[in-house]
Every structure is written in structure tokens, then in C-alpha cells.
Structure 1
């Protein structure tokens, strides 16, 4: 049944983004044409500036729109009138949440990939863009990043996207527990979660930095490691923490929908 839910959600999103994704590529192509066109200096400057603005706005608008659509699909599909239908289906709440999450994740990732391809078109192809990105990363991180580090960074971004979507879902679910001003409470709880996470992170860093056995452990751990190895370990720890956070968000959201859902 999860596959059917996912198919339905993906089909709904594709009806919208099948027009948006090609538009991003077209703007990238127009920008490329503007840079290569042999026109008078003034006309060329106007054409390049105009296409650049349109290209940047198209990419930003597509990414923001993908996130907004993902939130709307969750809120209207599970917490509004459509929820009456969805929760009468022979599926469990976790399947409903997972379907919305996977659809949002795939939509955001594909939007990001299409934007990346459009940038590649702008710079003359993906093959020429990838080595330059790798070189820029290696130079920016002072030689402490290698191929594995780049792969972990990409994975970190993907996990962060999923966790961010789950945090919005959780905030919407908590806000829906109130009878009035549910959207306002959802926004407030979203920022409250961020404040709590930042407070816990800062407090943990302060406590651990003053905990001598932990400091000695880190010194011994890093003593026999190379700079890229230390970087990869750090990114791996970040991935693990984000994964735990995402799991907590998911199951708390599922519990609220399963036991405390109020569609009135």
C-alpha cells in the first residue's frame, strides 16, 4: 500500500514540476546563449544581466516552491479535510508520513539536480563543472577533504534536507493539536525546536570541552589520523546525529497523527 501512496503523491507533484524543471533548464540555456552571443557591447550587457537575473530567480523560486508544495501536501493531505479520506484507507499513519516525506525528498533532490544541470549548461557541461567544484572544495578546506569527504558532504546535505522536512512536519503536527491559530503555533514550535537544538548543541560543546577524559580521548583519537580522516570522522558524526534527530521527528509525528489527530 505504501507504493500506491507514493505513486499517488509523486504523480500529484509531477503534474506541477514537469513544467518547472524544464523551465530551469531553459533559463540556463538562455544564459549560455547570452554569454556566447556576439552582440554589441551595450546590448550584450543588458541581455546577459537580464538572463542572469531570470536564471537566479528561477532556481531560487523552484527550490522554495518545491519546499512550499511539500509542506502544503502534508498539511492539506493529512491535517485538513483530505485527512478524513487518507486516514480511512487501510494504511498506518507511519506509511502516510513516509510517503509524504519520500515525495518531498525526491522532489527537492530532483529540483536541486536540475538546478545543478542548468548551472552545468551555463558553464559548458557537467564534465567541466564537476572537476572545478572538487578543486574549489579541496582549496576551500585547505587540503583536508578527499573524495570520500566530498561524498560524505553530499550525503550530509541529502540527510539534512530530509531532517528539515521532518522538522516542518513535526511542527505542523504539534500546531494542529490546538483548536485555534494552528498555523501560528506550528511556526512558533518550529522556531522553538531550533532554539532547543541550538541550546543543547552549545551546552554540549561547553560541557564536553571541559570534560578532561573526553578531551584526552579526542587527542588520542586524532593523534594517529590524517587531516582528511579527521574531517570524514567529523562529517560521519554529524550524519549519525542528524539521522537520530530525523528518526525522533518521524516517530513523534507519527505518534501525534496516530493518537492525537484532530480534524475538526
Structure 2
């Protein structure tokens, strides 16, 4: 049933975000061919020969295409955030919640499905943005120069030397991926928990959700600051902080990164548990759809 919930949620979000994904890619391609880098690389020198207005026209096209590109990137970010919030708020805390809570599933499955799909679509939005940047880079430097540099043996030799100095780099990459995933889920469930808390109010629920979000952010900022002060007095952490300052060698740097990633994963996992189970408890015990 959890899979069906995720499938339904994915279809609902994808219907809205797919057009903006397509728009970002299309405008990126237009920028690559007629916008950024086209004048500098001389792509249209032949076209502009004998035309007094040719270069000015292409500069105008370049300006418009760049503005359109940044416009759709902003729209992509804002729309993704709005859809993520809207799907949870309307799907579980408003009228649609009556239908969702009649399904033969537990509240935690509903909360997990919302978060899983929302995080997946957020990654899809980020991937679309990076893909568009890659297309722009190709248009700026030219495909031939880009792939020549990419296949340069000297570059790969330097990369291999770097990997050889840090044998644990696969573990570092894995830890970084876990940090990104857990941190992303924390941000999502922070919003969900805030909306659930705000919904406990009989009036002004949206405003109270915003207040709850700000209050939780301030609370964890205070905890972070207090934690750093306390840890700075612990001898073991004092040694760790000194190691960060000196950064003696590559192995020492790798150790610092491993420790930092592990600490971040543990701390983020605690936050995630608080937000997830806090949201689930409110929806299970204190849900008010009126």
C-alpha cells in the first residue's frame, strides 16, 4: 500500500512539475545555441556578415534568453517548494484529509509517502537545474573544447593521484550522499511538523504554521550554538578543533571529514526522528480537519 501511496503522490506532483522541467531544458538549449557564448565563439559570424543589425540582434536575443533562463530557474525552485507544501497541507490537513485517512494505511505511512516523493521530486528539480547548467557550459565553451578537456589524460592522472592519496574516498562519497539525503529529509519534515503544529490552532492555522517553523528554527539554532560552546570545553573536541585548524596532511583531512559527516548524520537523524514522529503523533492523536 505504501508503494501505491507513493505512486499516486508522484503522479500528482509530476503533472505540475514536468512542464517546468521541460521549459528549463528547452530554454537552456536555446541559450546554448543563441545565447551565452555564441557571440564570443563566433557561431554566427557568417550570418552577421553584411548585416549592420546582426550583432545587435543576437545580443538582444542573448539578453532575452538569459532573462528567460533565470526566470524559469526561479520558477522551478519556487514551484517545487509550493507544491511540496501544498501536497502535504491540502492532502492531510484540509478537506482531502478526510479521504486520505479513510484509506487502510497507518498515519506514518501517509507521512512517509509524502516525504519520500517530495524529496525525490526535489532531487529531480535539482538534477534538472544542474543539467541546464551543463548545457549552458557546452554552449559557452563549445562541445569540442569541453569534451577535449574532459578526456585530457593529465586531468584524469591528477584525479587518480588524488584518489590514491585518500584510499577511503568511496566511504567519504557514501557518507556525503547520506548527509545530503538525511539533511534534505530534515528540511522537508521540519516544514511538515510546523504545519501539523500550526493546525492544532483553531484559528489562523497558516500563520501559526509559519510561527511554529520560525520558533523551531530558532530553538535548534540555540541548541547548535550551545552545543558548540559545550563541546569547545571538552578536551577531545578541543583536539579535534585544533586538527581542523592545522590540517596536517591528506589523511588528517580525511579523518576530519569522516568525523564531521558522521556527526552531521547522527544530529540530522535525531532531528528527522523528532519531526517525523512528532508529525505522525499529531496526525494520529490530535488531527482536526474542521
TM superposition score category, shorter chain reference = 0.7 to 0.9
Equivalence for 1:58: 72
Equivalence for 1:46: 60
Could you state the TM-score of these two structures normalised by the residue count of structure 2?
0.78
Equivalence for 2:233: 210
RMSD of aligned Cα (Å) = 3.0
Equivalent in 230, 240, 243 of residue 266 of structure 2: 240
CA-CA distance at 1:216 after TM superposition = 4.7
Corresponding pairs, count: 254
Contact 2:32 2:136 in 1 (8 A): yes
Q: Distance in 2 between matches of 1:220 and 1:108?
A: 36
Q: Distance in 1 between matches of 2:30 and 2:180?
A: 29
- What CA deviation, in whole Å up to 9, does each residue of 1:150-190 have, x standing for no partner? 55445433332221110000000000001000011100010
Equivalence for 2:204: 181
SS in 2 for 1:51: helix
- What CA deviation, in whole Å up to 9, does each residue of 1:196-244 have, x standing for no partner? 0110000111111123354357769998952133123212321221122
SS in 2 for 1:226: helix
Give yes or no for the alignment of 1:226 onto 2:240: no
Equivalence for 2:276: 250
Equivalence for 1:67: 81
Could you state the TM-score of these two structures normalised by the residue count of structure 1?
0.86
Q: 1:155 to 1:58 in 2, by over 3 A?
A: farther
Equivalence for 2:14: 14
Unaligned runs of 5+ in 2: 49-53, 160-164
In the TM superposition, structure 1's runs of 4+ consecutive aligned residues that sit over 3 Å from their partners are 143-155, 216-225
Q: Distance in 1 between matches of 2:212 and 2:204?
A: 12
Contact 1:67 1:104 in 2 (8 A): no
SS in 1 for 2:200: coil
Question: Of the two, which has the highest radius of gyration?
Answer: 2
Give yes or no for the alignment of 1:262 onto 2:274: no
Contact 1:24 1:114 in 2 (8 A): yes
